[in-house]
């Protein structure tokens, strides 16, 4: 475990180097989602296998989440992007990096690509979208509902019974974040990029959706918006693709890295090659 202080806030950072000790085939920065998420979602799914394939992996708990600092305010999207820019500049040298963003983490990744286009080799966005007026309105509704539901013991008891104690602990932690910070009001008030700005994101983008997710309907729009964007759908999945189908997401990530120049090795080399040969994006 390591901590990095940035602009007075302490961030919990984890870095996994290639397990064979050789120079990395690529660098991947993994960005987690909002409220119930943390870097642990990657630590127990994609990260170890990526390191075994020769990738240098950087993960961190976003502000207010996991073991990072939790200021009472300062949760507009642009603050999360500033954090990502600062940590990228501090911890990854000058070379290009691949971004993997889950849900809100993908929205941060698109913001980072706007701020540091020369540093971004590509974005793999898992159940995610760039910030827009529609995104802000949707997040406003989700966060307002979460504020009510995650402070209700009846709801939390239902989560425990249906989803288990671990998910209930995550829900309680999310409730505390909502109760002790301005995150629910800050996110919808974020500065939003214009559509013309989003069209300047020219790095390759792979958008991964659960086939049963509401977000899957945006695939055509995103492909038309971004110059180099392709979509793929994980059958039978909704929003929690990373957690519910980690092996599939891992295979797609390895294939995507390989497709964009990463000379993978070890067990990931074969997996990535197989998916490319099968034509998966």
Whole-structure pTM value: 0.94
Confidence at residue 167, expressed as pLDDT on a 0 to 100 scale: 79
What is the strand order of the sheet 97-102 is part of? Answer: 2-6, 9-16, 55-60, 26-31, 97-102, 120-126, 205-210, 229-234
pLDDT digits (tens, 9 = 90+) for 36-48: 999 999 999 999 9
Is the predicted pLDDT of residue 173 greater than 80, yes or no? yes
Average pLDDT over residues 39-67: 97
Architecture of domain 2-131+194-277: 3-Layer(aba) Sandwich (3.40)
CA distances (Å), 256 to each of 190, 206, 250, 261, in order?
30, 8, 10, 9
Residue ranges, comma separated, of all CATH 3.40.50.1820 domains in the chain are 2-131+194-277
Distance separating alpha carbons of residues 125 and 122, to the nearest angstrom:
10
pLDDT digits (tens, 9 = 90+) for 134-169: 999 999 999 999 999 887 787 777 767 777 887 778
Closest CA to 209 of 238, 230, 229: 238
Is the predicted pLDDT of residue 87 greater than 80, yes or no? yes
């Amino acid at each position: 475990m390591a901590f990095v202080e940035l602009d007075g806030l302490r961030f919990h950072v984890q870095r996994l180097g290639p397990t064979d000790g050789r120079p990395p085939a690529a660098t991947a920065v993994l960005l987690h989602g909002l409220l119930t998420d943390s870097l642990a979602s990657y630590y127990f799914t994609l990260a170890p296998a990526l390191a075994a394939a020769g990738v240098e992996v950087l993960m961190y708990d976003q502000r207010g989440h996991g073991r990072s600092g939790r200021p009472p305010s300062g949760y507009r999207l642009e603050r999360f992007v500033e954090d990502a820019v600062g940590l990228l500049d501090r911890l990854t040298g000058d070379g290009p990096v691949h971004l993997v963003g889950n849900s809100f983490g993908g929205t941060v990744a698109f913001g980072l690509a706007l701020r540091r286009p020369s540093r971004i080799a590509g974005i793999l966005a898992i159940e995610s979208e760039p910030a827009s007026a529609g995104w802000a309105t949707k997040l406003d509704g989700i966060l307002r509902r979460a504020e009510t539901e995650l402070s209700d013991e009846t709801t939390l008891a239902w989560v425990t019974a249906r989803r288990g104690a671990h998910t209930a602990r995550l829900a309680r932690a999310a409730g505390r974040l909502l109760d002790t910070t301005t995150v629910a009001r800050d996110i919808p008030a974020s500065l939003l990029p214009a559509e013309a700005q989003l069209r300047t994101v020219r790095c390759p983008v792979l958008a991964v959706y659960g086939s049963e997710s509401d977000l899957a309907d945006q695939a055509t729009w995103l492909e038309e918006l971004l110059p180099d964007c392709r979509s793929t759908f994980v059958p039978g999945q909704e929003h929690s693709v990373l957690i519910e189908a980690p092996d599939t997401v891992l295979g797609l990530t390895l294939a995507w890295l390989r497709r964009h120049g990463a000379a993978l090795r070890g067990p990931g080399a074969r997996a990535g090659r197989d998916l490319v040969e099968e034509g998966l994006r």
